[in-house]
Amino acid sequence: MKIHTLQIPPEGKHIEGEDPSSVLELQDPMVKPSAGLSYILDVGLSDGGLFATGQLRSAFQLTCTKCLENFEYAILIPDFACQVELGSSEEVDLTDVLREDIVLALPAHPHCDWNGLNSCPGMHKLTEEPVQDEKPKPVWDELDRLKL
């Protein structure tokens, strides 16, 4: 998202729009954008810099790390804020700053039961009690028999 600084009046400017999901440049096969990057921003100029505040929104199809099923995950950043120094150019590109905040909002280990509405089948497999038909072997027996 590029902003022309000469088009910003002294009182600031309100900007709304949506960029395509390709601006996020995600390389992870377990994270696929299912919507573009929507933004509602107020931008202004101050002391040789451009500031932007507002909210960001996007949606993704993630793969659960427990059951490997795909699920939808929406991201809303209600309090986005950034300040970028102005260079000699009349144009400031906020794409990297927007991308960074969205990527940081993605979960590191996504689970399909993140919202409490679903039940992850992979979680049940991990929490089931193992069947104990025989007495477990002592772990150190083989080491005790070792002659050094």
Q: What's the token pair of residue 98?
A: 């927007």
What amino acid occupies position 7?
Q
* Percent of the chain predicted with pLDDT > 90: 20
Question: Is residue 126 predicted with pLDDT exceeding 50?
Answer: no
Question: Is residue 127 predicted with pLDDT exceeding 70?
Answer: no
On whether the CB atoms of residues 113 and 119 are closer than 8 A, the answer is: yes
Q: What's the token pair of residue 65?
A: 């790390």
As a residue count, the chain comes to 148
CB neighbour class for 92 (10 Å; exposed up to 12, middle 13-18, buried from 19) = buried
Model pLDDT, residue 129: 55
Q: What rounded mean pLDDT belongs to the chain?
A: 83
Q: Name which residue leads in pLDDT, 124 or 73.
A: 73
Spans of all domains in the chain? 2-144
Q: Tens digit of pLDDT for each residue in 26-47?
A: 888 888 888 888 999 999 888 8
- pTM (2 decimals)? 0.70
Question: Is residue 139 predicted with pLDDT exceeding 90?
Answer: no
